[in-house]
Amino acid sequence: MARIVFIGVGDVELTRRVLSALVLVPELRGELEIVLYDDDPGRLATAETLVRAIDAEARSAAKIRSTFERRHALRGADFVVSDLDVGGFEATLRDFEIPHRYGLRQTLGDTIGIGGVFRGLRTIPVLVRLAEEMAAECPDAWLLSCSDPMAMTGWAVQEATGLERFAGLCHAVCDTHAYLADLVGRGQDEVTFLSAGLNHQSFVLRFEAGGRSLYPELDTVLESDAQLRRHVRVELYRKFGHFPTMSSEHAAEYVPWIMRHAEETARLGVPVEEYLRRVGKSLHLYEETRRALSAGHSLLIRWQHQEPAAAMILALLTGEEKEIYVNVANRGLIGNLPEGCCVEVPALAGAGGLRPRAVGDLPVQLAALNRTFLNVVELTVRAVLDGDRGHVYHAAMLDPNTAATLTLPQIEALCDDLIEAHGDLLPAAVRA
């Protein structure tokens, strides 16, 4: 029997997608044990009701339990699916409201930017502790992290704990592949893709059918659609030569040329403070799920684009090989990015475990964009692992959007305000 532990179950849609994929596999009927952990009683109760409803509808006969004791939840696990939101909506709101007072505009602010730095400062210590507890309670288990900022947390966890069975999992690459195939009128099974880079900043290196690049066909589509050309990631593709996998909302704050210019955000349709709207939508979806459960509505997803965490679990359990995009330590996978950083590459999951694919060097201009992002990532990691408040300032100073908007004294003052506002959510050494 496979024991799958969910750590953090506030995202009911993620839980729903992963569980639906698992319980619909006939050979796993009666072979799954699902353990749920959260520190919020309401979220935990809702998640358990959801999981039991999905299991009953699929007639999967899984063993299901929930607990407030995290180490007890981890004991004997085979897979740990982690989705952390340290500080919740209130912390996210501070990440937007305080920079807003300084005139600093953000879109998503969960991976890079001042919001990404402080989300990293909150999340890294919690995920490192989780990995350390896994070493004691389930040393052979896989930690499958769905938590942003993935490039920061993945680097920190693997450096701090040496955990080998770690994979960060995100649907951005798969969604981009589907989007590009649709733009040129192809089925995904007709197209060969290869993407690589960093989470939320990977690039499509190969986009081919029948051994021929489909980029010329994409160019024709873009030339005929002026509205489509007014997207940030299309703009980046046209300047840097490879299509980025991050959404336009993400892409706008990874570079210094857009967010500080109101005319550019208007021209490119950038939704400022978009993440707050998404959080509101997520809270609404949570309440909708609770109402659907109370009314006895079906919540099992029978037809879906498989969630990466579910795809990896199924490949490892059944032995049926599948290519999955993962975020793992760079051990010679991308030659012109630093060893040990957390990179996003394709991997083959199956009977042989997880085998990440070495991509080689990225085109130099793409590696340069990645290294700009990695400056912020590495300094945030160092701030936590070395207990150095100075690196919080350094990370913010080198962040492209923050640096393009604020002066050095303003950046220091902003960081001080955020450190004070987040208080005990941050590591003690950072607060000192």
Residue 261 annotated to the active site: no
**Do strands 201-209 and 212-213 pair parallel, antiparallel, or not at all (unpaired)?**
antiparallel
> Binding site: which residues?
170, 200
Q: ∠ at Cα 53 (52, 56), nearest 5°?
A: 85
As a whole number of angstroms, the distance between CA 207 and CA 193 comes to 5
- At 7, give phi and psi (nearest 5°): -105, 110
> Binding site for Mn(2+): which residues?
170, 200
Query: Encoding tokens for residue 319?
Result: 């032995």
Q: Report DSSP state, residue 157.
A: H
Query: Encoding tokens for residue 33?
Result: 């044990």
Query: Taking the chain, what is the end-to-end CA distance rounded to the nearest angstrom?
Result: 47
Catalytic residue among 72, 100, 171, 422: 171
Q: Report DSSP state, residue 244.
A: B
CA neighbours closer than 13 Å in the CB half-sphere of residue 334: 30
CA nearest neighbour of 383 among 131, 196, 121: 121
Q: Which of helix, strand or coil describes residue 60?
A: coil
As a whole number of angstroms, the distance between CA 175 and CA 189 comes to 14
Q: Give yes or no for a contact between 415 and 407, defined as CB atoms under 8 angstroms apart.
A: no
Contacts of 312 (CB under 8 A, 6+ apart): 142, 144, 167, 169, 322, 324, 326, 349, 354
Residues annotated as catalytic are: 171
